[in-house]
Amino acid sequence: MPEPAVPPTPPVPLTALLAREDLALRQIAGPDAAGVTVHWAHTSEMADPYPYLLGGELLLTAGVHIPDAAGTGTYFDDYVSRIVAAGGAALGFGLAPVHDTVPRALVEACEAHGLPLLEVPPQTTFSGVARAVWQLMAQARTAELRRVTEAQQSLAAAASRPDPVPSVLRRLAQRLGGRAVLYGPEGARVAEAGREQPREVERALAELAGAVTRRSSATATDTAGGVRLAAYALGAGQGFVLGVAAPHRDQGDHTIASVAAVLLTLLTGEQRSGTGAARSAALVRLLLGATPQEVAPLLGTERVVVVHGRPDVGAGESGPGDASAPATPDPVAASALGAALGSSLVDLGDGVVRVLLPGDQVPGTLGGWTLGVSAPVAPGELAAADAQAARALARARATRVPLVRHGARPGLADLVPPGEAEAHARALLAPLSPTLVETLRAWLSLHGSWDRTAVALSVHRNTVRQRIARCAALLDADLDDPDVRMELWFALGQRP
């Protein structure tokens, strides 16, 4: 008999149905319900239900099909054997309206064939039993979706840690209750996590990973020593394979492992896009003697930001104080930081990761890392920017904050990313014409002096008054309020 065509929803334990007080079902024959699951409920009064069963059903019957002389022949034995052959999970027998008790011969047949037999009391309808099955199935489906979602979020958080590959493997092994291994292009174990399996299971998992590489297939599954094995190829042609050994393998487990495989593909793969090719060309030209200014157009930016990063000490999976976090980053962690910041221009040296970003791409805080960021500079000033980033990182580590941006003197502008500050300035000053903007700038810079502003702009003082009054009306603001003046002065400084 082939495997039953079960629906894509988690099955319902038979014990959950028996525990429903509103159903009042009672098992009177067959094996212990603890290991039995139900995929759906089906009602049939056919003497031979085999052609109408898909497998996994709780078959419900009131015994309408039972002939009067059934107790003296092989009727019940034949009937139960056909249900078992069709893959039925259990049989529910209704006590009303045809039979007052479950036929003794049916009880004996279910015992002989190992089919759980449930007594359905008169007050319980078959439709009520079917509804209970679907309710329990919906609850199980919701719980499974929640489990998968939480696992996806957990794996994504692990991928952003300074030791991303081991963290993802550890989290995957925890979620599946098994073993996770990353195999390299030559079949060697690059990293592993989880409970070590028996030798024959470890060997079978390695062989399965090798088979995936040789066949150039995406996934493969197998079983060894009662353990479910799975292998996932990471990307096309990379040669890395994720191997998983777990005690079970359902749809949710496969989804969780697939998410881990995608994350590991991003962490181990080379990003050879058109932008990457341009950056490689820029590096070659630098090696051949070109100046940074000459190769800057290949990077697609006129100005550059330098970022220095170090892993947070003690920022482990268990929270602050977990000593499992590395004190210094490794090459994989450096690549992960570059990927998180959106740049492949990454250098690892002296325990610090350096990343080059376009000048308009200002990074924010990143979990698991302490960052120091330089001011945007021209390509010829990279050495100065590198020193700025180093000083900013030192200040960040000393003050125990996740990110510090360089500034000649820390001020309000240092707290707001340039892109956000410019957008705020544009929105705030949008109602003003260029003439009003320049008048407002001069008036604020001269501390609200009408005469000095008039001289600076070569206009009459009454013109200055009229323009400032117009600014106040358009901005709907009290320009005598120092807080308003401060916000406007900040905006004027950020406006291109």
Nearest-CA neighbor of 389 among 366, 422, 368, 362? 362
CB atoms under 10 Å from CB of 106, counted, come to 26
Alpha carbon 209 to its chain centroid, in Å, reads 24
pLDDT at 285: 64
Give the span between the Cα atoms of 438 and 445, in whole angstroms. Answer: 10
Asked if 297 and 365 touch (Cβ cutoff 8 Å), the reply is no
pLDDT band at 8 (very low <50, low <70, confident <90, very high): low
Residue of 106 and 71 predicted with greater confidence: 106
Q: Give phi and psi for 339, each to the nearest 5.
A: -65, -40
Residue with tokens 């705020």: 424
Q: Which H or E run includes 340? A: helix 331-341
Give the span between the Cα atoms of 18 and 22, in whole angstroms. Answer: 10
pLDDT band at 274 (very low <50, low <70, confident <90, very high): very low
Q: Which of 37-46, 347-356, 424-433 has the lowest mean pLDDT?
A: 347-356
Give the span between the Cα atoms of 241 and 245, in whole angstroms. Answer: 13
Do 12-135 and 160-268 fold alike per CATH? no
Averaged pLDDT score across all residues of the chain: 82
CATH of segment(s) 418-494:
1.10.10.2840
pLDDT at 320: 36
Residue 223, beta-bridge partner list: 228
Q: What is the DSSP string of 150-176?
A: HHHHHHHHHHTSSSHHHHHHHHHHHHH
Question: Mean per-residue pLDDT for 262-277?
Answer: 63
Give the span between the Cα atoms of 69 and 220, in whole angstroms. Answer: 54
Which one of 3.40.1390.20, 3.40.50.12780, 3.60.20.10, 3.40.50.720 gives the CATH number of domain 12-135?
A: 3.40.1390.20
CATH of segment(s) 160-268:
3.30.450.30
Nearest-CA neighbor of 26 among 118, 89, 139, 158? 118
Give the span between the Cα atoms of 421 and 410, in whole angstroms. Answer: 16
Nearest-CA neighbor of 305 among 249, 253, 364, 259? 364
pLDDT band at 1 (very low <50, low <70, confident <90, very high): very low
Residue with tokens 């049939």: 44
Asked if 185 and 214 touch (Cβ cutoff 8 Å), the reply is no
pLDDT at 217: 64
Asked if 118 and 93 touch (Cβ cutoff 8 Å), the reply is yes
The structural domains of the chain, with segments of one domain joined by +, span 12-135, 160-268, 271-300, 301-410, 418-494
Is omega for the bond preceding 402 within 30 degrees of 0, making it cis? Answer: no
Q: With a cut of 90, say whether residue 106 has pLDDT above it.
A: yes
Asked if 39 and 57 touch (Cβ cutoff 8 Å), the reply is yes
Token code pair at residue 178: 């098994």
Q: Which of 119-133, 177-191, 301-315 has the lowest mean pLDDT?
A: 301-315
Q: With a cut of 80, say whether residue 98 has pLDDT above it.
A: yes
Give the span between the Cα atoms of 300 and 39, in whole angstroms. Answer: 57
Buried/exposed code over 55-83 (b: 16+ C-beta within 10 A; e: otherwise): bbbbbbbbeebbeeebeeeebbeebbbbb
Q: Which H or E run includes 292? A: helix 292-295
Q: What is the DSSP string of 394-462?
A: HHHHHHT-SEEE--SS--HHHHS-HHHHHHHHHHHHTTS-HHHHHHHHHHHHTTT-HHHHHHHHTS-HH
pLDDT tens digits for range 242-259 = 999 998 777 688 888 888
Residue of 446 and 276 predicted with greater confidence: 446
Residue of 198 and 292 predicted with greater confidence: 198
Nearest-CA neighbor of 17 among 120, 145, 106? 120
pLDDT at 184: 83
Token code pair at residue 232: 């996932």
pLDDT > 90: what percent of the chain? 33
Gyration radius of the chain over CA positions: 35
Residue of 343 and 145 predicted with greater confidence: 145
Question: Mean per-residue pLDDT for 201-217?
Answer: 83
Residue 179, beta-bridge partner list: 194, 245
pLDDT band at 47 (very low <50, low <70, confident <90, very high): very high
pLDDT band at 279 (very low <50, low <70, confident <90, very high): low
pLDDT at 323: 38
